[in-house]
Structure 1
Amino acid sequence: MLSEEVKSMSVIAGARSDPAVLRRAIAAGFVGTVIEWYDFIIFGTVSVIAFSKVFYPEQTPFIALLLSLGTFAVGFVARPVGGIFFGYLGDRIGRRYTLIVTLTVMGIATLLIGLLPGYQSIGDAAPTLLIILRLLQGFSLGGEFGGVATLLIEHAPKDRRGAVGGWAQAGGFVGPLLGTGVILILRATLSDAELVSWGWRLPFLLSILLILVSAYIRTHVTESPEFERARAEKELSKQPIRSVLMEYPKEIFCVFGMHAGNAILFYTGLIFAVAYITRNVGLSQNKALWANAVFLLAAAIACILVARLSDRVGRKPIYLTGTILGMGMAFPLFWLLDTGSLPIVLIASAIMGTIEGGFLYGIQPSYFGELFPTKFRYLGMSLGYQAATVLVGATAPIIGLLLIESAGGSTWGFSLYLIAILVLAAVSVLIAGETMHRDIGRVDKERNESVPASIGAEGAPI
C-alpha cells in the first residue's frame, strides 16, 4: 500500500513538473472556454439585436424584447442540470473525457441555431425549437466551469493555482469578445434589414471552425494527475452527489454566494447594459457593442493579472475587495451610462469589467476548487456555481428591465438589488476564509484536523 502511494505521488510530481503537460492543459482549458462562452454569449447579444424580430414579430416591441431576454434566460435553467450531470460524470470517469462531451453538445446546438428557420417560415415551431436548442446550450455550459477549473488547478503546482486557473477564466471573456467583434463587423458591413434577415446566423455558423480546433486540443490533453492519484488510491466516491451534499453543504453555499456577486455584475455589465444603453439612454447598438468589447477586454486583462496576484496575497482579500468595489459602483454605474457620452460609457464599462473579471471571476477556479476534495471537486463547484448562475445571473437582465420600467425609468431599485447580492457574496467570502495554502489532495484530512487559526498558518483562515 505504501509503495502504491509513493508511486502515485511520484506520478503527480512528474506530471506537474512537466511544463509541456501544463501548457497543454492550459490551452485545452482556455481555448475550450473561449468557444463555449462565444457560443453562449452571442445568443444573448443577438437576442437583443435580432431575435425579437425574427422569432417574436407578432408582439409589441417591449414584449418581444422581454421574450427574447426570457429565451436567453431559459438556457440558465438547464445549467444546474448540466452541472450535476457532468459533475457526476467528471468525478467518476475523469475531467478530460467529460469536457470533450460538453464541447460536442455545445457545438451541435449552436450550429443548429444558426440553421433554424424564423417565425415567418414555420410559425410557433421556430421559438419552440429555439428554446430547446438554448436548453442544450445551457446543459453543456453547466459542465464547463467545474470541469475546466478542476482540470487546470489539479495540473498546476501549489504556488501557481491562481495564475493557472485564471487562464481558464480569461477564456470566458475572450470568447464573448470574439463574438462581439464578429457582431460589430456584421453591423458595419450589413444593413439592419440584412442583419435581421440572415446576418444574425453567421456568428453561430462560424463557431463550427473554432469548435474543431478546440476539440483537437482537448483530445490531446492528459487527465488530471490528482484525479489519477485519487482513482489509483480508490478515493473516488461511488455516490458523489449524496456525499458532497451531506459533507460539504457550507462550501456549496459559499460558492453559491460568492458566484452570485460575480454573476450579477457580469450579466448586468454584458447583457443588460446593451438593452439599457439602447432603450433608455438612446445610444446606438453599435456603441453599446463597443461598450461590451471594452468591458470584456478590461475583464480579460484584469483576470490574468489579479489571478497571479492571488498566489501571493491570497484569495480572500481579493474577492472581498471585489465585492466592496462592486457595491461602490451600483449607483455610479447608471449615472455614468445616463450621460450618453460614449467616452464616459466606455470608462464605466472598463471599471465594471476590471472589478468583475479581476477581483471576482479570475480567482474562482483556485478559490472554489480549494474548498473541495478531489473525489467530488468537479461536482461541488458546479452545484454552487450553476445554482447562482440560474437564480441570479439569468434573472439579472429581466429583473433590471422590470424594476426600471416599474420605477418610470429610475435605476435606484436595481442598484439596491445589486448591493444586496454583493453583500451576500461578501458574507460568503468571510465564511469560506482563506484557502491558498491548502493541499488539494488532502482537503478532507485538513478539514478534520485541528489547525491553529493564526494568520499565515497553513490551511488556516486569514
Structure 2
Amino acid sequence: MKQTLSKFESESVRTHPRRAAIAAAVGNVLEGYDIGIYGYSAVILAKLFFSDNGTGALILTFAVFASGYVTKPLGAVLFGHIGDRYGRRLALVTSVLLIGICTALIGVLPTQASIGISAPILLTILRLLQGIAAGGESSGSAIFMVESAPPAHRGLYGSWQQVSTAGGLLLSSGAIGVLSAVFTQEEIFVWAWRIPFLLAIFTTLGALWLRLGVEETPTFEALEKSDAVVHNPLMVSIKKFWREIVVTIGVATIGSIGYFIFLMYMPSYLIAVIHVDPNTARWSNVTAIVAFAALTPIFGGLSDRVGRKPLLLGSCIGFVLLSFPAMYLITQGSTALIYIGQLIPAALLAIYSGAVMTAFVELFRTEVRYTAMAVGYNISTSVFGGLAPLAATLLISATGSNLAPALLAIFTALIAGVFVWFMRETVRRPLQ
C-alpha cells in the first residue's frame, strides 16, 4: 500500500536515514550499558556500598538503582522541552553527555569502607542524575530514528531503539565477563570493579562524535520552517494529548517489567536466589539478549506490514500465558531449562519491542512529540521498570516463592493488553 506523507515528511527527506539511526542508536547503547553495568554489578556493589552482605544489601542496592527512575519523568520534561523547542539533536547530545559523565563518576567513588554512609549517598546522587539524563534518551532516540526513517519503514527503524539498548546490555555483560576472567575476586572487590564504569568514557565520546555529525530530523526542520514550534510543549501535551499520554503509560508497563525482570535482573536472580553458577547465569542471559536483539528488527519490519497493534496484543497474551512456565523452567537449576526459560520471554519481548517505540512516536504530533512521549514513557518505566528488580526481590522474600516475579509480568501484561486493545492503529498514518 502506498504510504501517505504528511506536510512535515514531504517537506524534506533525509539523505542518510541509516546514519541518523546509527547516531541515535549509539547513544542509546550507552543508556543500556549504564543500566546493565549497574544491574550486573549489583552483588559486588551490595558488598562495597552496604555493610550487610545478604539479601538486605541486595535490596538496598536495587533501591538505589530504582532511585534513578524517580527522576526520569523530570528528565522527560527537561529534555522534552529542549527537543520540542530547540531540536531533537541538541537534546540527545546533552542527555548522552550527562549519562556518560555520571557512569564514569560511579567508577571513581570511594566505598563504604573508606567514607562510611557518604558512599551510598553519593552513589544515589549519581543515580538520580543519570535518571534525569535517561529521561530524555530513550524517547528522544526513538523519535530521531522514526522521524528520519523512510515513511514505509518506520517500524523497522524504530525497532533499533530497543536493539541498541540490548546492545548496551550485551556490552556491559561482556565487560563483566572479561572482568571475571582476567581478575581475581579479591582484585575485583578492591579496585577492578571500577573499570567497566570508567569504560563509559569511550562510549560517550563515540556517541557525541556521531550525534554532532548528523543533521536535525527533517520533520523538526519542517516544523521550524512552518513557524509552528510550541513554546510550552508540556502544557500543550497535558491539555491536548493527555489521552495519548495515558495510553503510552499503560502500554509501556509490560515492556518495563518484562525487560527489567527477564533481561536485566535475571543474572542477579539466578546467582543470589537460585544459586546458579555465575558463568551459567551470565551466558544464559547473554543468549537471551542476543535472541531478543536478533528478533526485534524482524518484528519491527513485520509491524510495517501488519500493524503495530497485532504484535503488541500478541506479546501481552504471550506473557499472561507463558510467564509462569518460563519462571518454572528457570528455577529448576538445569542449565538447558535455564536457557529455554529465558528464551521464551526474550522472544515475547522482541515481538513487543518491534512495534512499541514506533507506535508511541506515531501517537503524537511533531510539535509536542518529544515531551508528550517522554513523559508518558518515563512515568511507566519509573513506576514499573526501575522498581522491577526491587519489587521482585521483595516479592520473593514476602511469599517465599522463587516463582513470584512471574506475577509482576502477568499483572502488567493484563494492564498493557487493555490499553493496546483500545489504542488506535498508527501504521501507514502520516506523521502529523
TM-score by length of 2: 0.95
Q: Which of 46, 51, 54 pairs up with 2:48? A: 54
TM-score (norm 1): 0.89
Retained in 1: the 8 A contact 2:40–2:268? no
Establish whether residue 382 from structure 1 lines up as the match of residue 379 from structure 2. no
Cα distance, 1:372 vs structure 2? 0.3
1:288 and 1:314 mapped to 2: Cα distance?
36
Mean Cα displacement is larger for which, 310-319 or 334-343?
334-343
Q: Match for residue 265 of structure 1?
A: 258
Matches within 5 A, 1:2-401: 13=10, 15-16=12-13, 18=15, 21-47=16-42, 49-56=43-50, 58-356=51-349, 358-401=350-393
Number of matched pairs: 428
Contact 2:159 2:296 in 1 (8 A): yes
Give yes or no for the alignment of 1:424 onto 2:415: yes
Cα deviation code 1:121-168 (max 9, x no counterpart):
111111111111111111111101121111111111211100111122
In 2, the alpha carbon distance for the partners of 1:39 and 1:141 equals: 10
- Structure 1 CA distance, aligned partners of 2:139 and 2:14? 23
Aligned AA (2:13): R
CA distance in 1, matches of 2:383, 2:104: 27
d(CA) in 2 for partners of 1:149, 1:422: 22
1:306–1:359 CA contact under 8 A, matched in 2: yes
Q: Distance in 2 between matches of 1:173 and 1:151?
A: 18
Quick one: which amino acid aligns to residue 296 of structure 1? I
Point out where structure 2 has 5 or more consecutive residues left out of the alignment. 1-5
Deviations 1:326-374 (A, max 9, x none): 1122211221011101122112212211211x21123222100110000
Closer/same/farther in 2, CA of residues 231 and 17 from structure 1, 3 Å limit: closer
Letter of the aligned partner of 1:35 in structure 2? L
Counterpart residue identity of residue 197, structure 1: V
CA distance in 2, matches of 1:186, 1:17: 41
Letter in 2 for 1:64: A
Distance of aligned partners of 1:410 and 1:44 in 2 relative to their CA distance in 1, 3 Å threshold: closer
Rounded to whole Å, the distance in 2 between the matches of 1:74 and 1:289 is 25
AA partner of residue 43 (structure 1):
Y
Counterpart-to-counterpart distance in 2, 1:410 and 1:296: 22
Work out whether residues 71 and 128 of structure 2, in 8 Å CA contact, stay in contact via their aligned partners in 1: yes
The 3-state SS of whatever aligns with 2:41 is helix
Say whether the 8 Å CA contact 2:9–2:218 is kept in structure 1: yes
Instruction: Verify the 8 A CA contact 1:403 1:414 in the aligned structure 2.
Output: yes
In 1, the alpha carbon distance for the partners of 2:141 and 2:408 equals: 31
Shift in Å, 1:397: 1.4
Asked whether the 8 Å contact 1:237–1:375 carries over to 2, the reply is yes
Contact 1:15–1:155 (Cα < 8 Å) also in 2: no
Q: Structure 1, unaligned stretches of length 5 or more?
A: 1-8, 442-462
Q: In the alignment, residue 35 of structure 2 is paired with which amino acid?
A: F
Offset, 1:292 = 1.9
Structure 1 residue 415 displacement after superposition = 2.7
User: Post-superposition shift, 1:11?
Assistant: 8.9
Task: For 1:34 and 1:410, locate their aligned partners in 2 and report how far apart those are by CA, in whole Å.
Answer: 31
Specify the code of the residue in structure 2 equivalent to 1:234: D
Letter in 1 for 2:159: G
Q: What fraction of aligned residue pairs are identical, expressed as a percent?
A: 35
4+ runs deviating over 3 angstroms: 9-15
RMSD of aligned C-alpha atoms? 1.7
1:438 to 2:432 alignment? no
